[in-house]
Amino acid sequence: MKKYSSLKFIKMQSLIFKSVQRFNKVVSYIFRRKRKDFIYVALGDSSVEGLGASSPDRSYTGVIHKQLRLILKNTQYHNLGKAYAKVNDVIENQLDKAIDLKPDLITISVGTNDIIKKTSLKQFEKDLFELLSTLKTHTTADIVINTIPDMTGAPAVPKHLRLAGKMMLAITNNVIRKQSELCDVRLVDLYQTSRIFTQSYPEVLSDDGFHPSDFGYAIWANTIIGEIKHILWQDKRDISYKNPN
């Protein structure tokens, strides 16, 4: 009887050991999978799509992606930005895709087309809250939104519209600041940066006289990268990305 019990105990130990091994393999696999790919998703309008850049990788999101890959080797980059997109268009056409991608980082640049197409301020604020709060609720991503850069002095903007454009830009950016704080989203101020450079360096604009050039996008990217690096260095996953097995 004792011998039988001993054999049964040994078999049970063996089964438990094998089960633990299998469990550890599954956990290890999941852990590696989670750490293997860093998902970066860019949402927004033509500036996100990269109009004005000489190639997609010279857009500001393309430059951010390149910099991310220097820190996080296995970065996936999904640019969902589309020209002429208002905030509501981002909600309708980009939001669900972004959530499905399970991103680690989301950058958002939107609002210019809401000004151009005269979206009411109340509707803009409502749409922006919906976009940011939904991303906060349904993703675990670090979310970065920028203020709208000041392009009112660009050659493509008629002179008689520039003053009104500056006023609407200031009001709209105040909404972005308010909603970013309300939704606990990181804000990058491209408005101040763009004012300094557009006034002094005409080469920041592309040939269309409105969208940034490669140089202009590089300035945008550099400003945002400062914030992204701050996020990444706080994240312990960074160690694993830099030292892949």
Query: Please, which pLDDT band fits residue 107 given cuts at 50, 70 and 90?
Result: very high
Instruction: Say if residue 167 is exposed, middle or buried (CB neighbours under 10 Å; 0-12, 13-18, 19+).
Output: exposed
pLDDT of residue 239: 38
Residue 80 above 90 pLDDT?
yes
pLDDT digits (tens, 9 = 90+) for 29-40: 444 445 568 999
Do the beta carbons of residue 67 and residue 131 sit within 8 Å? no
Q: Is 115 left (phi over 0), alpha (psi -120 to 50) or beta?
A: alpha
19-23, 48-52, 110-114, 147-151: which is most confident: 110-114
Residue 98 above 70 pLDDT?
yes
| Class of domain 37-242 as given by CATH | alpha beta
User: In this structure, what token pair is assigned to residue 88?
Assistant: 């509501």
Query: Please, which pLDDT band fits residue 103 given cuts at 50, 70 and 90?
Result: very high
**Average pLDDT of span 123-142:** 97
Q: Say what angle helices 60-71 and 214-233 make with each other, to 10 degrees.
A: 40
| Intra-chain end-to-end CA distance of the chain, in Å | 49
pTM of the model: 0.78
Do the beta carbons of residue 240 and residue 35 sit within 8 Å? yes
